Structure formats: structure tokens, C-alpha cells
Amino acid sequence: MIGPLLGEAFFQSLAIFITGLAVTFIIVYLVNRALAKYFHRLAVRVPHLLTTYAFLRRLAVSIIALIGVMAATFTAFPEAQGAVASIFVAAGFTSIVIGLAAQSSLSNIISGMLVSLSQPFRIGDAIYFRNDFCFVEDVRLMHTVLRTWDNRRLVVPNSIFQSEVIINYSVEDPTMMVPVYVQVSYESDLEKAMRIMVDVARRHP
């Protein structure tokens, strides 16, 4: 009798856990859509805060997902609460916090938060990073996506930006000067060549 009862209890707990995950997924999906629409309207009015809005949306969704998973786990498997409490008591809360803070993942999240708040660059900015001209495509929780001039994608951990020198061409002026070298033969009319180049540049601002 004990075996079947234990098996039945396990499957009930598993069903509760799966249901909790499903509910969490639905809530995360709805919240993500609602925040995306809300922040999009705000970004239309205050475009320079687009980077901050995008990061806050992802942070809020991640926190909700984490809380949902923990709630589903502890509801379906109440004994897990005792195990977690024992771990905290045995290891010590302070040592756990210090250990987590030393992890690169948490460092990237904190760095991403600092980037989104201090805004050394924003989504859409033209920057110079590690010998590459790039455009900032997205600032996510763990990393930032950069698009280079030749359409490559650089996925850079956020913590790197805390120790790197970045040239931002869009802070004051969104235009960017790029040298273009043109070869002209010795027998060519230099004044005519200059007029042609100036005309082409004016027609392609």
C-alpha cells in the first residue's frame, strides 16, 4: 500500500508543478507583451530612454519567471523549503551572497543595469569598440548585441563595458566621419575630381 500511495503523491506533486510552470509561462508572456507596449509608448515620447526601458522590461520578466518557478517548486514539493533553509543555515547567508556576487552572471546583470541607467551608449548609437565601428542593437540582461559596419554581430558580456574605453559618436551628434580613400591618376584633372567627389557626398549625406 505504501508504494502506490507514494507513487500517487509524487504524480500529484508533479502535476501541480507542471501546472505552476504553465501558469508562470502565461503570466510571463502577458506581462512581457504589456510591458513591451507600455514602454514602446513611453519610448516614442522619450526616445533616449529606450535602452533603459528595454532592460527594465527584461529584468521584470526575469524576476517574475524566477518567482513563479520557485512558487511552483515549493508548492508542489514542500519538502524543498526545508532543504533550502538547511542550505542557508549551514553555509551562512553572507557567504552565499558573497559567492553569488562573485559570479560572472550576476556581474553581467549588474553591469547591464548600470549601462541602462548611466547610458554610456543607447540602442541605435554608433560606437567604436575594440577596433570596430558598431551600432548598438540591443542591451540585454547578460550581454549587449553590437552590429559592425560589415554586418557582423558582436555579443559582448555587459561586465566588459565597465573596463573598456568606448567612443560614442552619437552622444552629441549622430553623424559620423569615416575616411574614404580615392585614387586619382596623375594626368587627371584634380579640380574636376574634387567637384565630382563633393557632388557625390552632397547627394549621399
Q: Among 13-27, 86-100, 163-177, which is the least confidently predicted range?
A: 86-100
pLDDT score, position 3? 47
pLDDT at residue 147 greater than cutoff 90: yes
Q: What are the phi and psi torsion angles at 145 (to 5°)?
A: -100, 125
pLDDT score, position 156? 92
CB 51 within 8 A of CB 116: yes
pLDDT score, position 81? 61
Q: Where do we find the cell 548609437?
A: 125
Please state, rounded to an integer, the average pLDDT across all residues of the chain. 79
Q: So what CATH class is 121-168?
A: mainly beta
Name residue 132's beta-bridge partners. 129
pLDDT score, position 77? 77
Whole-structure pTM value: 0.54
Domain boundaries, the chain: 2-102, 121-168
Sign of CA dihedral 108, 115, 127, 50: positive
pLDDT score, position 146? 94
Sign of CA dihedral 188, 194, 195, 199: positive
pLDDT tens digits, residue range 66-81?
A: 898 888 888 877 776 6
Using alpha carbons, select from 151, 154, 150 the residue that is nearest to residue 138: 154
